[in-house]
Amino acid sequence: MTQTEMAEHARAMCRAVDVPVIADADTGYGGPLNIRRAVADYVQAGVAALHLEDQVSPKRCGQLAGVKVIPLAEAEARLKAALDARDEFGDVIVIARTDALPGSGIDVAVDRARRYADLGVDLVFIDGVKTRAEVEAIAMRVDGPKVISIVDGTDAAQLDLKTLDEMGFALCLYAVTGLFAGLAAQSAAFAALRSSGSLPALDYDYGRFCELIGLEPHQSFAHRHEAGDET
C-alpha cells in the first residue's frame, strides 16, 4: 500500500472513533522528504501516534520469514527526519520500530531499540516477537517506554496484560486479534448455516448494527433536506 492510501485509512479511522488512533507509517515511504510528508499527512489525519520501522523497502509483515533491515545509520536518519517533521507539523507520538529480531537476533534488536531511544523517540518497539522468552528479554534489556505486539497463536500470546504491564511495557498491540476473531465468527456462522440450513443465533441484528454505525443521524439529515413530492 502507498503512503496516501495508508494516510486515507488513518483519516477514516480517526473520523469514525473518539479514541486515540495509532497508525503504521511503514518505512516512511522513501527518503527524508517522503518521511516529512508522511508525518504531515498523518498529523493532518488526526492520529495520536505513528510507528516507523527499519525494514528495507518494499517491506513485509514482521511475522513473516525473510525480513531484512537497513543499516543502523540509515534507520537513525529516518527517525531523525520524522522527529524534525513532528516538530514542524504538530504533536504526534513517534514510535521507533525495529524488525531486526527475526533475522538478526535479540542482541541486535535490543541494541537498535536502545539506539533509537537515545534519539528522543517516545517509545521503542521490537517487532516479530513469537516467544515468552523474547518478551522477557526485551523487558529486562530495554529501558524506558516500550511497545510489544502480541500475535494470536504464538507462545507470547500466553502472557496477559497484567503481566506485560508489570514487565514494563507501556503499550500492547493486538494487531490481528479483531481480524482473526471476525473471521472465526464468520466461518462458524456460515458452517452452521450450511450444516443445518437455518440461520444461527447471533448477538447482532440489523437494528443493532445500524445503531452501532450511527445510521440514524445520517438518515435524519437526508430526510430534512430531500426535495418534497410536488406531484
Whether residue 24 is contained in a domain is answered as yes
CATH of the domain at 76: 3.20.20.60
Query: CA–CA distance from 27 to each of 60, 67, 108 (Å)?
Result: 10, 13, 19
- Residue 58: what pLDDT? 79
* Nearest in space to 51 (alpha carbons), one of 109, 113, 102: 113
Whether residue 175 is contained in a domain is answered as yes
- Residue 81: what pLDDT? 97
**CB within 8 Å of 17: residues ≥ 6 apart:** none
Whether residue 192 is contained in a domain is answered as no
pLDDT of residue 121 exceeding 70: yes
Q: What is the pLDDT of residues 201-226, one digit of tens each?
A: 888 889 999 998 889 999 999 999 98
Contact 91, 48 (CB under 8 A): no
pLDDT: which is higher, 203 or 8 = 8
Identify the band that residue 56 occupies on the pLDDT scale cut at 50, 70 and 90: confident
Which H, E and C letters describe 75-139, residue by residue? HHHHHHHHHHHHHHHCCCEEEEEECHHHHHCHHHHHHHHHHHHHCCCCEEEECCCCCHHHHHHHH
Identify the band that residue 62 occupies on the pLDDT scale cut at 50, 70 and 90: low
Whether residue 98 is contained in a domain is answered as yes
Spatial separation of the C-alpha atoms in residues 184 and 202, rounded to whole Å: 13
Range of the structural domain that residue 29 is part of: 3-180
Into how many domains does the chain fold? 1
C-alpha triplet 33, 38, 41: angle, nearest 5°: 125
Contact 124, 141 (CB under 8 A): no
pLDDT: which is higher, 58 or 175 = 175
Whether residue 191 is contained in a domain is answered as no
100, 103, 104, 108: CA torsion to nearest 10: 20
Q: How many CA atoms lie within 13 A of 135 on its CB side?
A: 24
pLDDT of residue 59 exceeding 90: no
Q: Which residues are catalytic?
A: 61
**CB within 8 Å of 46: residues ≥ 6 apart:** 10, 11, 14, 15, 21
pLDDT of residue 231 exceeding 60: no
Mean pLDDT of 128-141: 96
